[in-house]
Structure 1
Amino acid sequence: MNTEREVSLTTTTISKITEGFDHYINEFKKLTVLAPEFFKSRNWTEMQANHRKRLRLYKDLVRSCCNSISNLNTNQREERTFWEEVKKGYSKAILDRQDKELAETFYNSVIRKSMPKLAVDEDLMFVYEGYDTCDLHPNENLYHSYPSSWGLQKIIRQIIQDFDFGVPYFNKEEDIQHLVRAVREVILSRYEPTKDTVTQVLKSVFYRNKAAYLIGRTRVGDKWMPFIIPFLHNDNGVYVDTLIFDPKIMAHMFSFSRSYFMVEVDIPSQMVSFLNAVISHKQIHELYNAIGFNKHGKTEFYRDFLLHLEESGDQFEIAEGIKGMVMTVFTLPSYNIVFKLIKDHFEPPKDMTRQEVKEKYKLVSLHDRVGRMADTHEFEYFTFPLDRMSPKLIQELKNTVNSLLIFTEDKLIIKHLYTERKMIPLNMYLETCDHEDAKFAVEDYGNSILQLAQANIFPGDMMTKNFGVTRQKRVVFYDYDEIEFLTDMNFRWKPRPENYEQIYASTPWYDIARNDIFPEDFKRFMIGRKDVKDHFLQYHEDLFDPDHWKKIQQKITQGELLHAFPYPKEIRFRTDLTA
């Protein structure tokens, strides 16, 4: 029988966690609702700063909640039965919430931070619950509906009217006709509308960087045809930039290599359910990430991982490719994720610490990834079944990250790791792909570097082994231990030798500071494949020009945010307008 004091402590703990979650959700919403105002005023600097604030929010408020709990009776907090009672009471407290899946994840975070060595246990945590714990019923509050009986012109005009950004349009009538033509070319050329045809558009606008996106779907031909309408706002006013029907482009817009959207969400599971029907290429955890609930996305990923373990039998192995100097990487061949661990010791010339590497990964998590840097999830005390780890992998882990390992009778617990989407290393891709794919890959490799530069990121180590190729054959950077802000770099032309000693000097005869970069040297190591090397050098000649890098730096220091279009520029309605 629990004593009155024990019951009081359990109730107080439940109350602290519930209050902590309420605080998180309220602050999350306060930051999210600022996005329309920043879009309206074209305050892109504050838009990005606000996005970073929201990313930091969860960890800060979990820590605050843990601190408030730690002030309670520490002896009882160590007991398993105490947390069993807390979970039971917390489940009742959140039972009627429409965001209870997020509340479950918040609880998990608090218990893991309060009891860091506690194994994931469904008796103490919410392990197998999920996003569908809320009823997924039709929700007219979620979207606007437009019946086919209205006709195409009226539907498009009503959509434009329903989403008023509070500022003048550049050319509203032209926008309407652009959209009408696009719908006729893509949908009405293939499908005949019926009385059952309906168009639905989410009422919430998705904001990211300089763009606002409407997301909808049209029921035609007994199936849903999804679409996305991007809006931009420049000196001329607001305008529709294009209309996107291509599911591959839509999937890329919600990619793991892009920043999360700022979008108002009343019932997260309802939003995810709608998006899942529209962007079917994406998994549930990716969609939670996309709408800003990346910590719950992490939870959903873990559930997906556990399910995959149950349904598969292959062994974890050392990842293919050249072994990193900083990271040990392994994977499960049947799963599309890699696991990355920071090594205990780094081989020269690497001279950083484990904490410095963590800071680099944190920088990426808070930065605009512009479609060119892979998102990661950070885990502590991640558990693997020992019988699924190959002997070679076990030995490699002992040799390189032994301080992170805890072995039990049947489990391997890793104290700290990152998960990241599996990609084909670019160097391996170039060894096997045909000539045309190689040409495209090296072009996109250079594009990725320059787009990162425009986002104020200098990759540091730009060798092809540090870039991956996605299923859409897009090149993405994934090795972050040497990244720096572009504005901290000093791009120089190499001094020309003036005498015999300088010409034949075995080491540079001129001073080189730590942040000095000589783009001319990039030519020596960037592409090794001979049949596309010359094409790469000509296609991306700006990469080797220090003055070009300085121009990008100048734009950044002047406060200019360079918009990275998440779709091909050739599909834009007006290619002459800048974002």
Structure 2
Amino acid sequence: MALEKELSPEITDYEFWHDTKLQYSNRISNRKDKELAETFFNSVLRKISPESGIDENLMYVHEGYDTCDLHTNENLYHSYPSSWGLQKIIRKIIEDFDFGTQYFNKEEDIQLLVKAIREVILTRYEPTKDTITQVLKSVFYRNKAAYLIGRTMIGGKWMPFIIPFLHNENGIYVDTMIFDPKIMAHMFSFSRSYFMVQTEIPSQMVSFLNAVISHKQIHELYNAIGFNKHGKTEFYRDFLNHLDQSKDQFVLAEGIKGMVMTVFTLPSYNIVFKMIKDHFEPPKNMTRQEVKEKYKLVSQHDRVGRMADTHEFEYFSIPIDRVSPELLQELKNTVNSLLIINDEFLIIKHLYTERKMIPLNIYLDNCDHEDAKYAVEEYGNSILQLAQANIFPGDMMTKNFGVTRQKRVIFYDYDEIEFLTDMNFRWKPKAENYEQIYAATPWYDIAKNDVFPEDFKRFMIGRADVKQHFFDYHKDLFNPDHWNEIQNRIRKGELLHAFPYPKEIRFRPEEPA
């Protein structure tokens, strides 16, 4: 790279980088996005010298978003005093956000919002002179929707809300109003694509969001608003803090061992660490680079709430005394080329971090009947919603899906994913004679990307008391015509919208026409 050539031979000089950091710190001291500038510096240093390790004298290791000055920024949000009354407040919010196109039915939208607030908030709390509503001026965009995010100080606390807007050939319309913190958290989930949002001072927006969606961690909020590089930095700081405050050892993750990845975890931390094996077990025949490309595809694609986000690290250090002997042996057996071991640290040349979930196969082995029914419904929903986003999971065995704390099923094994439009979904030819019926191998031609959905029933669900429920609930999964219909809609350019909130809370059951 050009910088390496420009800096040579100082590029390996410790004092050079130490002095550079001091000068850089001075240069960025008045920036309103200082934390992002620090992460940029770290990224440059790590790219130039990935093996240098983490050194607080050379890098910004423990600085955090809250070390930035929280600049007074009158442009962060609109404010609406309670003295205006509910009708005027809602009308002013709608007026303040002009999307540059006509509304389908603005008056109806206003009354639907007023009705929702009266039913959810004003039945429990009485506004006072101190009640105020704030709505971020920045609009959050993702897929086919725009979102307003706000909060109301009432009853001695902040009550958050989100207002989604959709648009069709008839104009803009409000789709619903969301007050449920669990739904809001899911909209900012690690399984969702990042929002597109403009912000002058990222740390200030994160502070606002942290007050609205309080059980999301800081690194998750940076990820959600598109600053995933700094989200990775904040995650690493959280990881270091957790290491200092815990004593348990890293161990192999629960579940069936993968043929492509070795996965381990720290029991007290909600993250798994995934490493690409040195050698893949048959029938896997891809390369390490091909696996990396699959993970990169997922990071750039619409995850529709059904694929886990990852962070990619190089030369990731773990104190060697925190690694269990069993894990260390497994790592030596499967990913030895990625390991550097010294007296103090296990250094891993390449790994991915991902949110920890309960593998679906283990969950189904231990949950009750009703939870199992819901889980297999979610399993099928996950596959079909990925299909609508033009993703075919490939290996759809339950061990490759996880269950979150909210009992949502998420896909997390990416080595065999393909674009749905590249697949060829077929009905199995009917056997016409004795030889075909009893043939040891398929008697018909099968191309590389041929898929026979009828065969899915053979491996998808093993639990007997919910198997038939799954087959009945998701009968479209086994119908090639259904898969081909989704393909055709995607090929025609139709963007199939996956709602990040329950459809039953929408103001209108169907799109207005």
Q: Please give the TM-score of this superposition, normalised by the length of structure 2.
A: 0.99
Letter of the 1:388 counterpart? R
Which segments of 5 or more consecutive residues in structure 1 lack a partner in the other structure? 1-66
Could you say which residue in structure 1 is the equivalent of 2:303? 369
Could you say which residue in structure 1 is the equivalent of 2:249? 315
Deviations for 1:301-335, whole angstroms, at most 9, x for unmatched residues? 00000000000000000000000000000000000
Counterparts of 2:83 and 2:90, CA distance in 1: 13
Counterparts of 1:139 and 1:130, CA distance in 2: 20
Could you say which residue in structure 2 is the equivalent of 1:447? 381
Letter of the 2:156 counterpart? D
SS in 1 for 2:489: helix
Match among 321, 334, 343 for residue 409 of structure 1: 343
Counterparts of 1:131 and 1:436, CA distance in 2: 43
% of aligned pairs identical?
80
Counterparts of 1:496 and 1:414, CA distance in 2: 51
Could you say which residue in structure 2 is the equivalent of 1:14? none
Match among 8, 16, 19 for residue 85 of structure 1: 19
Match among 453, 465, 473 for residue 539 of structure 1: 473
Q: Is the 8 A contact 2:191 2:410 kept in 1?
A: yes
What is the correspondence of 1:341-490 to structure 2 with a 5 Å cutoff? 341-490=275-424
Letter of the 2:347 counterpart? I
SS in 2 for 1:225: strand
Instruction: Kindly state the Cα deviation for residue 502 of structure 1 after the two structures are TM-superposed.
Output: 0.5
Counterparts of 2:282 and 2:318, CA distance in 1: 31
Could you say which residue in structure 2 is the equivalent of 1:276? 210
Pairs aligned (count): 513
1:520 corresponds to 2:465:
no
Q: 1:137 to 1:221 in 2, by over 3 A?
A: farther
Could you say which residue in structure 2 is the equivalent of 1:32? none
Could you say which residue in structure 2 is the equivalent of 1:161? 95
Could you say which residue in structure 2 is the equivalent of 1:550? 484
Match among 151, 165, 170 for residue 236 of structure 1: 170
Instruction: Kindly state the Cα deviation for residue 135 of structure 1 after the two structures are TM-superposed.
Output: 2.1
Counterparts of 1:199 and 1:553, CA distance in 2: 44
Deviations for 1:75-123, whole angstroms, at most 9, x for unmatched residues? 2221101100110100001000000100000000000101121101100
SS in 1 for 2:133: strand
Instruction: Kindly state the Cα deviation for residue 526 of structure 1 after the two structures are TM-superposed.
Output: 0.4
SS in 1 for 2:205: helix
SS in 2 for 1:71: helix
Deviations for 1:106-155, whole angstroms, at most 9, x for unmatched residues? 00000010112110110000000010122236533200000001000000
Could you say which residue in structure 2 is the equivalent of 1:62? none
Instruction: Kindly state the Cα deviation for residue 576 of structure 1 after the two structures are TM-superposed.
Output: 1.3
Could you say which residue in structure 2 is the equivalent of 1:129? 63
Match among 481, 500, 521 for residue 434 of structure 2: 500
Counterparts of 1:578 and 1:448, CA distance in 2: 27
Instruction: Kindly state the Cα deviation for residue 353 of structure 1 after the two structures are TM-superposed.
Output: 0.6
Letter of the 2:67 counterpart? T
1:226 corresponds to 2:160:
yes
What is the correspondence of 1:178-257 to structure 2 with a 5 Å cutoff? 178-257=112-191
Q: Is the 8 A contact 2:295 2:415 kept in 1?
A: yes
Counterparts of 1:351 and 1:474, CA distance in 2: 31
Counterparts of 1:171 and 1:545, CA distance in 2: 39
Q: Is the 8 A contact 2:32 2:71 kept in 1?
A: no
Counterparts of 2:165 and 2:7, CA distance in 1: 54
Counterparts of 1:263 and 1:73, CA distance in 2: 36
RMSD: 0.9
Could you say which residue in structure 2 is the equivalent of 1:117? 51
Instruction: Kindly state the Cα deviation for residue 428 of structure 1 after the two structures are TM-superposed.
Output: 0.6
Instruction: Kindly state the Cα deviation for residue 69 of structure 1 after the two structures are TM-superposed.
Output: 1.8
Counterparts of 2:112 and 2:95, CA distance in 1: 16
Deviations for 1:44-81, whole angstroms, at most 9, x for unmatched residues? xxxxxxxxxxxxxxxxxxxxxxx332222412221101
What is the correspondence of 1:315-334 to structure 2 with a 5 Å cutoff? 315-334=249-268
1:297 corresponds to 2:238:
no
Letter of the 1:403 counterpart? S
- 4+ residue segments displaced more than 4 Å: none
Instruction: Kindly state the Cα deviation for residue 363 of structure 1 after the two structures are TM-superposed.
Output: 0.6
Could you say which residue in structure 2 is the equivalent of 1:95? 29
Letter of the 1:423 counterpart? M
Could you say which residue in structure 2 is the equivalent of 1:18? none
Could you say which residue in structure 2 is the equivalent of 1:149? 83
Counterparts of 1:103 and 1:534, CA distance in 2: 55
SS in 2 for 1:249: helix
Instruction: Kindly state the Cα deviation for residue 186 of structure 1 after the two structures are TM-superposed.
Output: 0.4
Deviations for 1:206-255, whole angstroms, at most 9, x for unmatched residues? 00000000000000110000000000000110000000000000000000
Q: Is the 8 A contact 2:170 2:512 kept in 1?
A: no
Q: Please give the TM-score of this superposition, normalised by the length of structure 1.
A: 0.88
SS in 1 for 2:165: strand
Counterparts of 1:261 and 1:576, CA distance in 2: 25
Counterparts of 2:371 and 2:11, CA distance in 1: 58
SS in 1 for 2:340: strand
SS in 2 for 1:72: helix
Counterparts of 1:324 and 1:578, CA distance in 2: 47
Counterparts of 2:3 and 2:444, CA distance in 1: 58
Counterparts of 1:231 and 1:138, CA distance in 2: 29
Counterparts of 1:259 and 1:287, CA distance in 2: 12
Instruction: Kindly state the Cα deviation for residue 409 of structure 1 after the two structures are TM-superposed.
Output: 1.1
Could you say which residue in structure 2 is the equivalent of 1:51? none
What is the correspondence of 1:35-50 to structure 2 with a 5 Å cutoff? none
**Which has more helix, going by share of residues?**
1
Could you say which residue in structure 2 is the equivalent of 1:46? none
SS in 2 for 1:117: helix
Letter of the 2:153 counterpart? R
Counterparts of 2:493 and 2:221, CA distance in 1: 31
